[in-house]
């Protein structure tokens, strides 16, 4: 991290140089997590879309690898997924050396005869992702559409049979289309889902996976992820999810609130949102992770201003990886998200407070941090508002507050530092979160230019970029309108 580069994260992946957007081809194989990503190898703005590549043993320390799948003058390499084709169903490897197969969107342009179309293509690797070859029969799935993209492929093994399933979007139609295949090269149409719930923008980057209910492997629900831009809950880009059933052909949602193309956004807060902040987009999950663990990564940015973030020669980071599971909240099934903890294994917190009264007012902590995890449990009691101030300096601060009367958690970055690079950047995010036994538990991850808040053990999350001065590292807790009780506070930092 150069001294002149105060925003380069320590635990969030960034490309050494140049532009990055969606995570692609998330796959775990033989002890290595592979993160491919939308990348412009030639500049800090969107363009020349290719798949960059990074590898990690632990999802926190990443090594950037050479560009895996480069664009050429006829096709840009848009988002998609990767699978380990263990039984060489594709025939692209051998029984003794089965291939890693990437399924990506070819966005064709002149001089391709398919110019203007988006269709699905394959590339494969016979050396665990080091080198890649584009399949000679590309594209493998073409609907003659200009907005058919972002294929997520998984192996389905259920009552309906065993085969590959692809979820992709007809982005403008706000639809997820499902296909099946025995060999990754020949695809048959299964069904279409949508429009439903949030439809105020194009649908992009879908995912479909199964999770156990109440930790019982036999009892499951299916999760359909649909990223949307614009029209997200906090404005611009965001991820929504549907919970329901998948029988190998059709996804049937049990969490649809509104069907069809709704213009009226009044029920937005009833939809399932992966994150209630401004900067968690294009989130999809890893394939091949052991023990049925489902781990997602999102692009920590928003198309509203992604081209303007003030980070110099590199642009954009990935979120912390998050393990997702199902939980019940007020009798309703929701997704719980638990981040991979950068400080796991670090013995003792750098600062701790035990149970104590919190008088009305603001109390600065005798510890400062730009890269840290803060765990706090409030019992608001007589207070009307409680919260945390992070990345504070003389003239700037990011405020995380909980309003007791309406049960709403907010993240306010209006005065968080540099915010004037785009009119859409200054913002306040909000999510309703009920107290549990009168308590609010927050886990907040700070890294150079980001704040990720996990409330009530990950039942609601808010992810926002912030660009404070490097020296703005002060931390504080506060109560307003009356005294509160601070049950515990731990700061783990470096
Ligand atoms: C989402 C997205 C995808 C597309 C890619 C292009 O952010 O628009 O739909 O494949 O980015 O970079």
| ipTM exceeds 0.95, yes or no | yes
- For residues 302 and 356, membership in a common domain is answered with no
Instruction: Report which of 265, 239, 122 is spatially closest to residue 169, judged by C-alpha positions.
Output: 239
Residue 326 alpha carbon to ligand 1 centre in Å? 27
- For residues 328 and 364, membership in a common domain is answered with no
Long-range contacts formed by 42-49: CB under 8 A, 24+ apart: 42/18, 43/18, 43/19, 44/17, 44/18, 44/19, 44/312, 44/313, 44/314, 44/315, 45/19, 45/307, 45/315, 46/19, 46/21, 46/306, 46/307, 47/19, 48/76, 49/76, 49/77, 49/78, 49/107
Q: Which of 305, 339, 373 is the last residue of a domain?
A: 339
Residue 80 alpha carbon to ligand 1 centre in Å? 9
Residue 229 alpha carbon to ligand 1 centre in Å? 10
Instruction: Report which of 461, 493, 404 is spatially closest to residue 280, judged by C-alpha positions.
Output: 461
Q: Which of 339, 372, 402 is the last residue of a domain?
A: 339
Q: Check pocket membership of 38 for ligand 1, CB cut-off 6 A.
A: yes
User: Which residues 6+ apart lie within 8 Å of 480 measured at CB?
Assistant: 360, 383, 384, 385, 386
Separation of alpha carbons 181 and 199, rounded Å:
29
Residue 33 lies in a domain: yes
Q: Check pocket membership of 337 for ligand 1, CB cut-off 6 A.
A: no
Q: What is the pLDDT of residue 3?
A: 55
- For residues 199 and 119, membership in a common domain is answered with yes
Instruction: Report which of 419, 223, 434, 230 is spatially closest to residue 322, judged by C-alpha positions.
Output: 223
Q: Check pocket membership of 22 for ligand 1, CB cut-off 6 A.
A: yes
Residue 79 alpha carbon to ligand 1 centre in Å? 6
Which residues span the domain enclosing 484? 351-493
Residue 1 lies in a domain: no
For position 325, which CATH number holds?
A: 2.115.10.20
Q: What is the pLDDT of residue 381?
A: 95
**DSSP β-bridge partners for residue 285:** 296
Instruction: Report which of 216, 217, 238 is spatially closest to residue 229, judged by C-alpha positions.
Output: 238
The yes-or-no answer on residue 22 being catalytic is: yes
Q: Check pocket membership of 275 for ligand 1, CB cut-off 6 A.
A: no
Give the β-pairing of 361-368 and 474-480: antiparallel
- For residues 374 and 419, membership in a common domain is answered with yes
pLDDT in tens, 77-91: 999 999 999 999 999
Q: What is the position in ligand 1's atom list of the atom closest to the CA of 105?
A: 10
Rounded to 5°, the CA angle 286-287-293 comes to 70
pLDDT in tens, 178-191: 999 999 999 999 99
Residue 5 lies in a domain: no
What pTM was estimated for this model as a whole?
0.97
- For residues 355 and 275, membership in a common domain is answered with no
Q: Check pocket membership of 492 for ligand 1, CB cut-off 6 A.
A: no
- For residues 333 and 356, membership in a common domain is answered with no
For position 442, which CATH number holds?
A: 2.60.120.560
Kindly give the confidence (pLDDT) of every residue in the chain, 494 residues in length, as a single tens digit, with 9 standing for 90 and above. 555 689 999 999 999 999 999 999 999 999 999 999 999 999 999 999 999 999 999 999 999 999 999 999 999 999 999 999 999 999 999 999 999 999 999 999 999 999 999 999 999 999 999 999 999 999 999 999 999 999 999 999 998 899 999 999 999 999 999 999 999 999 999 999 999 999 999 999 999 999 999 878 789 999 999 999 999 999 999 999 999 999 999 999 999 999 999 778 899 999 999 999 999 999 999 999 988 899 999 999 999 999 999 998 999 999 999 999 999 988 899 999 999 999 988 877 889 999 999 999 999 999 999 999 999 999 999 999 999 999 999 999 999 999 999 999 999 999 999 999 999 999 999 999 999 999 999 999 999 999 999 999 999 999 999 999 999 999 999 999 999 999 999 999 97
Q: Check pocket membership of 79 for ligand 1, CB cut-off 6 A.
A: yes
Total domain count, the chain = 2
For ligand 1, atom 9: residue with the closest CA: 204
Tokens of 465: 């970029």
For ligand 1, atom 8: residue with the closest CA: 204
Residue 125 lies in a domain: yes
| Mutate which of 109, 150, 226, 315 for ligand 1 pocket (most atoms within 8 A of beta carbon) | 150
Instruction: Tell me the residue length of the chain.
Output: 494
Residue 78 alpha carbon to ligand 1 centre in Å? 6
| Residue 400 · residue 453 · CB < 8 Å | yes
Tokens of 466: 């912030």
Residue in the structure block whose two tokens are 């991850």: 445
Q: Which of 309, 339, 369 is the last residue of a domain?
A: 339
């Amino acid at each position: 991290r150069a001294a002149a580069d105060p925003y380069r994260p320590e635990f969030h992946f960034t490309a050494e140089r140049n532009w990055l957007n969606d995570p692609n081809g998330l796959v775990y194989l033989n002890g290595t997590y592979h993160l491919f990503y939308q990348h412009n190898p030639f500049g800090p703005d969107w363009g020349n879309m290719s798949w960059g590549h990074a590898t990690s043993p632990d999802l926190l320390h990443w090594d950037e690898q050479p560009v895996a799948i480069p664009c050429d003058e006829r096709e840009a390499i848009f988002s998609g997924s990767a699978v380990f084709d263990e039984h060489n169903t594709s025939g692209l490897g051998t029984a003794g050396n089965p291939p890693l197969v990437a399924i990506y969107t070819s966005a064709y342009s002149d001089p391709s005869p398919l110019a203007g179309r988006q269709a699905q293509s394959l590339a494969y690797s016979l050396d665990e992702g080091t080198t890649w070859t584009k399949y000679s029969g590309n594209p493998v799935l073409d609907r003659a559409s200009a907005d058919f993209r972002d294929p997520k492929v998984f192996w389905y093994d259920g009552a309906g049979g065993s085969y590959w399933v692809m979820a992709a979007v007809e982005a403008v139609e706000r639809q997820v289309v499902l296909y099946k295949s025995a060999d990754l090269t020949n695809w048959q149409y299964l069904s279409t889902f949508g429009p439903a719930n949030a439809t105020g923008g194009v649908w992009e980057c879908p995912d479909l996976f199964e999770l156990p209910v109440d930790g019982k492997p036999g009892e499951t629900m299916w999760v359909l992820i649909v990223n949307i831009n614009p029209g997200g809950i906090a404005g611009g880009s965001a991820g929504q999810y549907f919970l329901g059933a998948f029988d190998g052909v059709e996804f049937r949602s049990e969490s649809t609130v509104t069907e069809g193309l709704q213009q009226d956004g009044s029920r937005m807060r009833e939809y399932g949102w992966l994150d209630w902040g401004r900067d968690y987009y294009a989130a999809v999950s890893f394939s091949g992770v052991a023990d049925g663990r489902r781990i997602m990564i999102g692009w920590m940015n928003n198309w509203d201003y992604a081209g303007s973030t003030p980070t110099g020669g590199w642009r954009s980071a990935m979120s912390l990886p998050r393990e997702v599971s199902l939980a019940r909240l007020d009798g309703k099934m929701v997704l719980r998200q638990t981040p991979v903890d950068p400080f796991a294994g670090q013995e003792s917190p750098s600062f701790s407070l035990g149970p104590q009264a919190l008088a009305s007012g603001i109390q600065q902590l005798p510890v400062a941090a730009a890269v840290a995890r803060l765990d706090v449990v409030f019992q608001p009691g007589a207070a009307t508002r409680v919260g945390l101030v992070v990345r504070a300096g003389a003239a700037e601060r990011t405020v995380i507050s909980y309003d007791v009367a309406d049960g709403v958690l907010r993240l306010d970055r209006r005065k968080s530092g540099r915010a004037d690079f785009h009119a859409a950047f200054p913002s306040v995010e909000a999510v309703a979160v009920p107290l549990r036994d009168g308590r609010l538990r927050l886990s907040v991850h700070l890294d150079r230019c980001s704040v990720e808040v996990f409330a009530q053990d990950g039942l609601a999350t808010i992810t926002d970029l912030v660009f404070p001065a490097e020296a703005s590292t002060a931390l504080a807790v506060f109560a307003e309108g009356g005294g509160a009780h601070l049950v515990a506070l731990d700061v783990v930092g470096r």
